[in-house]
Structure 1
């Protein structure tokens, strides 16, 4: 997969930039003014502040689920009270995972998230398997699913009460994906700013649900909370599935670690952003469910296909037309945050020599990792129009928790193998221990409850082993092939106007 160019990086930069330099180390910018050479350094700057970090975490965790179908937990707990307990417990467990990643993010100051930490702890082969599965299946399918939710809900107000033609949904989805790719290609700063706006919009939508719901509660509408802990319908065998649904709803707390190198003062920002974000998300999830239960009984909630819409129809009348728009904006925020983070993983993997060199290059004017952003575009569109997305997600759902468990296990392993590694933020060992056991328990649950899909997903991941040896380990290519790859790499570099990052 690697095809390292033999030409000088400096010559490549000068040629791609097309600039001439004066004798005192300055050069003319686009307006003709002279700039210091340091000011024009091509690379990813420290543009992720605390507020932007919080918006990345909250914006990727809160997608469409809390608005559409928060019934997986209720279905498997059998009571209102136990469902709220599980929401809180999943928030605490997710915080444990996020704190473990905060330690990793402050002692390993590289972008790339899961990939980088597995590389540091267990070496390149295990890291490549994770990268391979992400690249060929998980990330394109995941992006396509959240984008389809965006396409569905952005068109809902236009077609209500009629159904939306599937072709229209896919076209709206394709436009949504294209706009997110364009935004991330043009400017890191504007991507981060828009992420803040989208995060605020989804928090506003949640507030529109919470405030009327709590008002009803304070008025004495508590009939749906009577016998809240009626355990007659609860079966212990279903509780793990309830936790599985809850942990899935909180997934996304790890995305800030994908952009570590772009975080301003990561030793302070990473732990603070994670703690603030998890407190906000957990509070929002629990209070939103409380609000739902003040208006709907458990039976009504289980029967609803879109809980937030049902809630709005009961409480707000015609204002319920605005709910699909808020859901669409929420999905768009998840798309934007995911792409911002995932492009950095491909960027770092290229820098480590496990993907083509062009993916670790930066646009000469925009200072965005343009090739790494674009790599997901064709695969996501392919999944959208011809792939069986939901089957892929079923195959891969257990792999998410397997590899997150491996990452946190790596934290424990690094504590043993590299005790002198500087750790500005260090969590008590019981926190990663509990979270690691939780992850592996959910993997075991997948094997027990759905052995066929889990087995297929495991088989797909094992294809990463021969791929590693073919593309990475045995890298003695014929000269004609290497020459063709170098030529292709240079052509892409010129077409995309990208150069290697200056450090």
Structure 2
């Protein structure tokens, strides 16, 4: 008979935390989204600026979260920070959005990306191989592969945090080394360099022509058109922010970190710094290996495949397919491991199914893992995760802004609280992130409203759910 445990076991060190940050961030985005960024901005300079802006925002946010992680070294991370700075309703709205879409749809998207690149070697396992139709819903073999990966990783993580840690370390180390190698080879082995040609575009924003040659023409970015450039940058950053997201996952597992007051803040900084450097270098490599038109318009937006085929003409496609499979497998392991800890903490607060707030004999929230698996699998079958992720970039950044504002609130509410680590550059860097994040959200509201209101609707659906949960708790208390 299995025996439930009452608390998490601290078994993860600084290296493990850094691997969770880096591994959760690097999925499939860096191999794909640069094509859309190039189409939106049309120049080498602005492509790199978009990635630098995203990297700066991510690093600034991570350094700011260090203070909160030191103050509240508990499982649940950002959910706990929002509860302490604001109120339980604000925390629930984040936790609900996290469960409904943010984490589960990301797990689905990363799983389907795995199957998409597996299809390079086994076409019958891809996302275009129709198996059958159920009640008007087409089921593709790639969706079932994605679900199988999610179930496998959920099972492994239900066996204990050490098993999940091993997979995270192996797969994250492998993809970091492989990405580093690809960047180096992209400069050393490529037969024809397009570096000088691409950098002739400088920082002159351009629009993609609709002509037969698919080339670029200079855009007129004065007056009203100047605002259009800001809209193009905000639209571009939807992809780069998604590619750089999930860095905060390590905060959710604070209960399993050794010396969490020190190690969470450090792992946030080290992990985001490593990934930011690799992302910028990868895009510099793309600019060396590919002409700008090909960077903007590769088949199915697979920029890394196009670059690899110029570096390794005979086996570039297979090489990138294997790299992305390794990358997405490790990424999903980190997402699955960390996400369940948020629902566990919500259940402990009486705001989720009671069973979710229990640990199994391996000291992990098994029921939380499997309910997360169920929702992620449903998103895999729906095929709607891509649109959802576009729609929630706005919400994700909005919650980051609110959490960082929470630092200012807590400095005023609890001036004497223990702060083993203080936000770097306070108040200027946190304030700068708030301004940059607000500008990003505002530009999306103006230029891409379809990316904003669906996410807000999902968040607001949590309001009645919160009061239903509160009412249910009061009723249960009266009956006891």
* Interval of TM-score (by shorter of Structure 1 and Structure 2): 0.7 to 0.9
Q: CA RMSD in A?
A: 2.6
TM-score, reference length from structure 1? 0.82
How far off is 1:214 after superposition?
2.5
Q: In structure 2, the residue corresponding to 1:46 is in which secondary structure?
A: coil
Deviation at 1:476, TM superposition (A): 4.3
SS of equivalent residue, structure 2 residue 359: strand
> Which of 453, 456, 479 matches 2:454?
456
1:389-468 correspondence to structure 2 within 5 Å: 389-427=385-423, 428-452=426-450, 454-468=452-466
- Between 1:173-182 and 1:225-234, the stretch displaced more is 225-234
Q: How does 1:134-173 map to 2 (within 5 A)?
A: 134-159=98-123, 164-166=128-130, 167-173=140-146
Q: Distance in 2 between matches of 1:477 and 1:276?
A: 47
The alignment's TM-score, normalised by the length of structure 2, stands at 0.86
CA shift for structure 1 position 228: 4.4
- Give secondary structure in 2 for the equivalent of 1:43: coil
- Determine the C-alpha separation between the residues in 2 that align with 1:176 and 1:411: 38
1:171-182 to 2 correspondences below 5 Å: 171-182=144-155
Cα deviation 1:354-402 (Å, max 9, x = unaligned): 11222121112x2221111111122122222246333433443311111
* Alpha-carbon offset, residue 278 of structure 1: 2.1
Deviations 1:422-466 (A, max 9, x none): 111112211111112222222222221233452233223222111
| Structure 2 match to 1:469 | 467
Equivalent residues in 2 for 1:43-442, closer than 5 Å: 43-159=7-123, 164-166=128-130, 167-215=140-188, 222-231=195-204, 233=206, 235=221, 236-237=229-230, 238-304=232-298, 305-320=301-316, 321-364=318-361, 366-386=362-382, 388-427=384-423, 428-442=426-440
C-alpha distance 267-478 of structure 1, shift in aligned 2 (>3 A): closer
The whole-number CA distance in structure 2 between the counterparts of 1:109 and 1:447 is 35
CA contact (8 A) 1:151 1:173 kept: yes
Report how many aligned residue pairs link the two structures.
445
d(CA) in 1 for partners of 2:197 and 2:185?
16
Change (3 A) 1:83 1:363: same
Distance 1:275 1:181, change over 3 A: same
Q: Structure 1 CA distance, aligned partners of 2:126 and 2:18?
A: 38
Q: Which moved more, 1:258-267 or 1:50-59?
A: 258-267
In 1, Cα distance between equivalents of 2:288 and 2:105: 36
Corresponding residue for 1:26?
none
Deviation, structure 1 residue 322? 2.4
Q: Which has the larger radius of gyration?
A: 1
Measure, in 2, the Cα distance between the counterparts of 1:385 and 1:185. 23
**Aligned partners of 2:186 and 2:463: how far apart in 1?**
52
Decide which moves more: 91-100 or 72-81. Answer: 72-81
Deviation at 1:72, TM superposition (A): 3.0
SS in 1 for 2:165: helix
Q: 1:394, 1:89 → 2: CA distance?
A: 18
- Shift of the alpha carbon at 1:468? 1.4
Structure 2: segments with no counterpart, 5+ residues: 131-139, 207-218, 222-228
**Residue deviations 1:166-201 (CA, integer Å, cap 9, x gap):** 422112112111111111111210101110111012
Shift of 1:62: 0.8
Q: CA deviation at 1:317?
A: 2.4
1:205 CA displacement = 2.4
Q: In the aligned structure 2, how far is the partner of 1:219 from the partner of 1:165?
A: 36
Following TM superposition, by how much is the alpha carbon of 1:16 offset from its aligned partner in structure 2, in angstroms?
5.8
Q: Note the C-alpha offset of 1:467.
A: 1.4
Is residue 224–residue 296 contact of structure 1 (8 Å, CA) maintained in 2?
no
